[in-house]
Amino acid sequence: MRVVLLVFAILACLIAVELQLGFVKAMVGPPFMKEWPYSSLLHLLNYFGMTAMPLQVRLLEHVLQNTKLGSAEDIINKVDEFCWTNPTMNIGPVKGKILDEAVLSMGSSPKIVVELGSYMGYSTLRLASLLRKTAPDAVLYSVDPNPLGHAIKTTLLDRSGLLGSKVKNELAFSGDILKKIAAHNDTIDVLFLDHVKELYLGDTMLAVELGLLKPGLSLVVADNVIASGTPEYRKWMMENKEFETKIHDTLLEYTHSVRDEVLVSKFLR
């Protein structure tokens, strides 16, 4: 591995020099180099050498190498195993249980569950696996606009055996999906917020405005209310008489001392 890194570093230096001088392309470079940008060559070197893979790709590699097909639980455990050493922004096992309990509190009644912000699909696996056991007719909308996260999530869902008609794997923006659900005259039983923090308030207000929440039944679950923080959403939700909110004091994912909150709010109106 050290040799590969050294070679990669030398090549990067040579390319940096070449960017300034430009004589390789003109004199000794292979034909494709005359039109390919240097960035493409660096990406190819990185691909074959696996020297600078993003954390998300290394996590996927860990899961694929260490899990068996068809077991969502095994995949979830291996993601947690990796992330306790290499933390990243899944909801994690501690707060994941709070989300699980919120869904379980509805029994077999959920028909539509929506998660806004799925990242690499950890919470998607938790929700889809739980719904398959407790509310098999429920449909989960998993929404995120990031192509890398979408690709990894799709791979994990496929490996777990959960990829199918009951999981709407949406590469899209949150507001567009809320409007799409409303256009189908559907409602949301559980709305899980774990996307861009500045969108929590606007998307919740949009869900109310569109009539997507059922009075006395629908839940809105919000992660990362303290870390990284959604002060406007927290203030609005705690003061809003249309919701009954329970605060879960907890810790930021994959930490032992960083305070966080999860809010579980029932729509009353």
Helix (H, G, I), strand (E, B) or coil at 151: helix
Q: Which of 197, 260, 261, 266 is catalytic?
A: 197
Active site residue 194: yes
Q: Which of 253, 260, 261, 266 is catalytic?
A: 253
Instruction: Name the residue type at position 190.
Output: V
- Closest Cα partner for 174 from 139, 147, 142? 142
Q: Which of 224, 260, 261, 266 is catalytic?
A: 224
Phi, psi of 78 (to 5 degrees): -70, -35
Is 237 in contact with 207 (CB distance < 8 Å)?
A: no
**Which residues, other chains included, contact 264 with Cβ-Cβ below 8 Å and sequence gap of 6+?**
98, 102, 219, 220, 221, 245, 246, 248
Active site residue 25: no
Active site residue 249: no
Helices (H) and strands (E) in the chain, counts: 11, 7
How far is residue 70 from each of residues 15, 22, 58, 128, 164, measured CA to CA in Å?
Answer: 45, 52, 21, 13, 13
Active site residue 224: yes
Active site residue 241: no
Is 140 in contact with 166 (CB distance < 8 Å)?
A: yes
Question: Cα(143)–Cα(150) distance, rounded to whole angstroms?
Answer: 9
Q: Which of 223, 260, 261, 266 is catalytic?
A: 223
Q: Which of 115, 170, 189, 194 is catalytic?
A: 194
Which residues are tagged catalytic?
Answer: 194, 197, 223-224, 253
